[in-house]
């Protein structure tokens, strides 16, 4: 039995395009689960925090949370709350940011609408250059298509795509989805995951349920 080391930065020998993402992120407002990978063939993948998590200003206190065993493709972007110019005004211009020039009270966060955290579940696959907007929750096991723009929550084990992203289909029947959400195999001890890896890969749900 081989138990992988989640503390490594580069999980594959000779591959500097793929990383275990949690080991490259230092921002305490970004939480990454174990074994989640990010691949970037265009830029340095270790610069994910700077290149892929955008408009993430401390004044908002918003968080990006990504679960375990996720796969994030090159160029995927997470647009945090400061990307949302406030829409309750008659102008979308960000006057509060320039409070000094306009003699306003110092309240820069009034320049945008705070829609909340971005939360990505476990075992989620986010495709090439997909964009996830603030306030969105993506359920466990979901798949986000290449260049999709996700503006609303995504149900567990759903496949979505397009602009804006819409559900294409479910990955499994409802009974299988319910069973997987109860199993939460990604929270098992690594030894147990390793023991059942062939069952996971082959789709042998009964073996997981009885294991």
Whether 85 is catalytic is yes
- Tally of residues, the chain: 211
Q: Kindly list the distances between the CA atom of residue 28 and the CA atoms of 32, 56, 116, 181, in Å, as whole numbers in the listed order.
A: 10, 12, 16, 27
Which one, of 120, 36, 21, lies nearest residue 70 by Cα? Answer: 36
How many contiguous H segments (helices) and E segments (strands) does the chain have?
Answer: 6, 15
Which one, of 39, 49, 48, lies nearest residue 15 by Cα? Answer: 39
Q: What CA–CA distance (Å, rounded) separates 176 from 50? A: 38
Query: Residue 107: is the preceding peptide bond cis (ω within 30°)?
Result: no
Contact call for residues 65 and 29 (beta carbons, < 8 A): no
- In the set 16, 50, 85, 107, the catalytic residue is 85
Contact call for residues 135 and 154 (beta carbons, < 8 A): no
Longest dimension (CA), the chain: 67
Enumerate the active-site residues: 85
């Amino acid at each position: 039995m081989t138990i992988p080391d989640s503390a490594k930065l580069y999980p594959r020998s000779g591959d500097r395009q793929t990383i275990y993402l949690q080991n490259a992120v230092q921002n305490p407002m970004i939480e990454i689960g174990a074994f989640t990978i990010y691949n970037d063939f265009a830029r340095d993948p270790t610069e994910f925090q700077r290149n892929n998590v955008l408009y993430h200003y401390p004044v908002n206190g918003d968080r990006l949370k990504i679960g375990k065993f996720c796969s994030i493709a090159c160029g995927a972007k997470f647009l945090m709350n400061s990307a949302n110019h406030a829409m309750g005004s008659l102008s979308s211009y960000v006057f509060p940011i320039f409070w000094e020039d306009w003699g306003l009270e110092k309240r820069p966060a009034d320049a945008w609408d705070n829609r909340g955290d971005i939360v990505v579940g476990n075992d989620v696959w986010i495709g090439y250059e997909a964009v996830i907007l603030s306030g969105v929750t993506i359920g466990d096991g979901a798949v986000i298509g290449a260049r999709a723009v996700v503006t609303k929550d995504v149900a567990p084990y759903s496949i979505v795509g397009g602009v804006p992203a819409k559900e294409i289909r479910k990955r499994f029947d409802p009974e299988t989805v319910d069973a997987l959400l109860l199993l939460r195999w990604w929270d098992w001890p690594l030894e147990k995951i390793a023991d059942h890896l062939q069952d996971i890969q082959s789709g042998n749900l009964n073996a997981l349920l009885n294991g």
